[in-house]
C-alpha cells in the first residue's frame, strides 16, 4: 500500500480561463513518501455536470521531497488567504508548476552527485 505525505482533494475551485461562466474544477493531489507526484483534474460545469478525471501532472522519479518542503506545499495548497475569499485556478497552477520545477531541480542535483 502506498503511503502519501500529501493526499488532498480540493473541490469547486473557481476558474478564470476560457470555459463557460461558473465552471469550476476539482484537484486530486497525491505525493507519496518516495516523492512521486500524481495530480489529477476534473471540471464541474454549470448545472453540476462533472467531466472525466484526467492527469494534470504525473512524476514517477522516486526522488523524495524534504519534509520542510512538504509542509510548505501543504500550507500553499490549503491556507486560506487573509481577508477570506478563496484561491482560484491560477493560484494552484503556480504551485503545481513549482512542484514540477522543484522535482526537476532535485533530479539535476542527484545527477551532480
Tens of pLDDT, residue by residue, the chain (113 residues) = 889 999 999 998 888 766 666 789 999 999 999 999 999 999 998 888 999 999 999 999 999 999 999 999 999 998 766 766 778 888 999 999 999 999 999 999 988 76
Q: Which set of grid coordinates corresponds to residue 34? A: 518516495
CA angle, residues 8, 11, 14, in degrees to nearest 5: 130
User: Given this model, what pLDDT does residue 59 score?
Assistant: 98
pTM reported for the whole predicted model = 0.88
Helix (H) or strand (E) holding 102: helix 89-112
User: Given this model, what pLDDT does residue 87 score?
Assistant: 86
Amino acid at each position: 500500500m502506498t503511503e502519501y505525505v500529501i493526499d488532498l482533494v480540493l473541490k469547486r475551485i473557481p476558474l478564470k480561463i476560457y470555459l463557460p461562466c461558473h465552471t469550476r474544477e476539482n484537484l486530486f493531489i497525491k505525493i507519496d513518501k518516495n516523492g512521486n507526484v500524481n495530480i489529477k483534474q476534473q471540471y464541474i460545469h454549470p448545472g453540476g455536470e462533472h467531466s472525466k478525471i484526467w492527469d494534470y501532472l504525473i512524476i514517477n522519479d522516486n526522488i523524495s521531497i524534504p519534509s520542510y518542503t512538504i509542509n510548505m506545499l501543504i500550507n500553499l495548497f490549503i491556507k486560506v488567504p487573509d481577508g477570506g475569499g478563496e484561491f482560484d485556478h491560477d493560484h494552484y497552477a503556480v504551485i503545481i508548476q513549482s512542484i514540477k520545477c522543484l522535482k526537476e531541480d532535485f533530479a539535476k542535483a542527484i545527477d551532480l552527485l
